[in-house]
């Protein structure tokens, strides 16, 4: 057991749940095309429509407002566009205002030209600067088109929770559209699109224990929708063409059903385990910084800097100790670069930070082993004279 590896990178991808695996295997045996009208096709269509309801239930939406995609990146590129329709009437979005801590899938601006994208700063605590957001929207020229605001609910690196309901009030007061990346929030905090006030939510299957290759764009209604990104046979009510992937969608739905139940109760022991780990880290090394510790965070994430330990060095050191974790986001083709989240929060990004993210199958023994690995690495840094 001592030689086994510990997986503590759930924010990069959660382990496939047994329920999702079973659902995928069941769907593999369904032969029909979901667009076919014969019995085999109808069986697959039924599976997809049931899955749509399950994903909708995860975020308190209507099933008809769920558009299945290949993942969160595609969902972001679908919704982040200047071209919308209100029913059949074209609706112009003039400018995208995205927070400085967004995931690269959103920071790239989707289909907006670069000159039509502005950054919303965050405070040193990692929370969106609301007065600046108000000023940005107050200065927006509505004659050119509506403003769109993109703010993630939970940051993928720090785990910090953004005040989305308050942001929604500001956006609504200025006639804007609010897009919320809820990828890291789903299954970790209660999620209700109406209560959040979001116009669109972005979800990902593999972050909640489903298979990779599935995601969704969830709308609050069905009237105001983006012009399609992928055109063709008109699947997903014309919003996203291409034959649906029933295997991935079935797994996505099974994962959504599982993590949507008693979110608060299920997260309580995970949060307690994370807090024990952080306590051990703070005791083992002087000067360790846990980013976002003083604001609201999801209970599974620790984003920390150990003075004298560069992120890439630390990631390798933990890996050699049998602990899999990340140096920030794991969605940049394996590159370890400066964290734009740390930059946005005003920290010197050159040293970087490491992210530990856990889940419901993380055991107390694994928490202890991770804490021991941290203490060992910190002690080596002290002995080498590279850290205080």
Q: Give catalytic residues, as residue numbers.
A: 331
∠ Cα 293 294 300 (to 5°): 35
Q: Is 33 exposed, middle or buried (0-12, 13-18, 19+ CB in 10 A)?
A: middle
Tokens 């630390």 sit on residue: 314
Sign of CA dihedral 15, 69, 102, 106: positive
Q: If residue 257 lies in a helix (H) or strand (E), which one and from where to where?
A: helix 246-259
Give 273's strand partners: none
Structure tokens at 380: 């080596």
Show the tokens assigned to 295: 């604001």
Tell how many helices (H) and how many strands (E) occur in the chain: 12, 14
How far out from the chain centre does Cα 339 lie? 16
Give the three-state DSSP class for 225: strand
Query: Could you count the other beta carbons within 10 Å of the beta carbon of residue 316?
Result: 13
Question: Residue 65 corresponds to which tokens in the numbers above?
Answer: 């407002």
């Amino acid at each position: 057991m001592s030689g086994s590896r510990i997986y503590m990178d759930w924010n990069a991808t959660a382990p496939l749940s047994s329920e999702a695996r079973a659902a995928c295997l069941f769907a593999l045996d369904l032969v029909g095309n979901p667009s076919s009208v014969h019995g085999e096709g109808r069986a697959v269509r039924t599976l997809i429509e049931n899955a749509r309801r399950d994903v909708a239930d995860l975020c308190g939406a209507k099933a008809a407002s769920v558009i299945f995609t290949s993942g969160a990146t595609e969902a972001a590129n679908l919704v982040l566009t200047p071209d919308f329709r209100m029913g059949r009437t074209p609706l112009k979005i003039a400018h995208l205002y995205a927070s400085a801590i967004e995931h690269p899938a959103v920071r790239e601006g989707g289909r907006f030209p670069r000159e039509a994208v502005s950054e919303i700063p965050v405070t040193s605590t990692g929370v969106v600067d609301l007065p600046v957001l108000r000023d940005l929207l107050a200065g927006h020229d509505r004659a050119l088109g509506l403003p769109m605001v993109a703010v993630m609910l939970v940051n993928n690196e720090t785990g910090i929770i953004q005040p989305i309901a308050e942001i929604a009030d500001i956006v609504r007061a200025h006639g804007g559209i609010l897009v919320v990346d809820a990828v890291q929030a789903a299954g970790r905090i209660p999620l209700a699109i109406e209560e959040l006030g979001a116009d669109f939510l972005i979800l990902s299957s593999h972050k909640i224990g489903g298979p990779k290759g599935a995601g969704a764009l969830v709308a609050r209604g069905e009237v105001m929708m983006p012009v399609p990104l992928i055109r063709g046979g008109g699947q997903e009510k014309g919003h996203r063409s291409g034959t649906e992937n029933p295997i991935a969608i079935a797994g996505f739905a099974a994962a959504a059903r599982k993590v949507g139940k008693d979110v608060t109760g299920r997260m309580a022991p995970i949060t307690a385990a994370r807090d024990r780990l952080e306590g051990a880290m703070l005791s083992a090394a002087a000067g360790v910084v846990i980013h976002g510790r003083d604001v609201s965070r999801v209970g599974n994430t620790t984003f920390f800097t150990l003075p004298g330990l560069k992120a890439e060095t630390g990631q390798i050191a933990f890996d050699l100790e049998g602990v899999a974790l990340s140096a920030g986001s794991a969605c940049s083709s394996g590159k370890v670069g400066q964290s734009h989240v740390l930059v946005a929060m005003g920290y010197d990004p050159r040293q970087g930070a490491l992210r530990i993210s856990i889940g419901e199958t993380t055991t107390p023994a694994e928490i202890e082993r991770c804490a021991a690995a941290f203490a060992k690495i910190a002690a080596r840094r002290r002995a080498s004279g590279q850290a205080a």
